[in-house]
Amino acid sequence: MTKPIIFLLIALFLVFFSPAPASAATLVTKEEMRAGLCGKMRDSYRQLSVTTDKKTEKRLKRLTKRLDRKAERYGAQVDFNDPVDRWLWFGIFGLGIAVVLSFFASGGLAGLIALLALACLVVWIVKRSGA
């Protein structure tokens, strides 16, 4: 019961004792008001165009950086003619074939292919670090 009363007292205090801006109004003619408003609109448009140009420039820079990062990460196309990357693809395909063969209960052949695929991956790592 006391909480609503306290709330009402605080609300009334804020309404009646809140600082209100007290400024004197000056008389301005319609022509002065229109001229001032047109000037403000002209200046704000110029300023807005400058800020939007800066914003679009920043956005374009951010977008190009993001696209460059994605191109580096995902845009690398498979080049089977590269002698170093060829070992990587031999290893990946060999491990894939070994996994598929392991489902068909040919463990000896799958193990041999997996061993050769791992050897290809080791050769790729050695060549890559040396290049």
Q: What is the pLDDT of residues 43-77, one digit of tens each?
A: 666 666 666 677 777 887 887 788 777 767 765 56
Tokens of 26: 């000056």
- The sign of the torsion formed by the CA atoms of 46, 48, 51, 57 equals negative
Q: What is the mean pLDDT of the chain?
A: 76
82 closest CA partner among 44, 25, 128: 128
Let me know: does 121 contact 98? Beta carbons within 8 Å: no
Going residue by residue through the chain (131 aa), what tens digit of pLDDT does each one get? 688 888 888 887 777 776 665 565 667 677 777 777 667 766 666 666 666 677 777 887 887 788 777 767 765 565 667 777 788 888 888 888 888 888 877 668 888 888 889 998 888 888 888 75
Let me know: does 80 contact 86? Beta carbons within 8 Å: yes
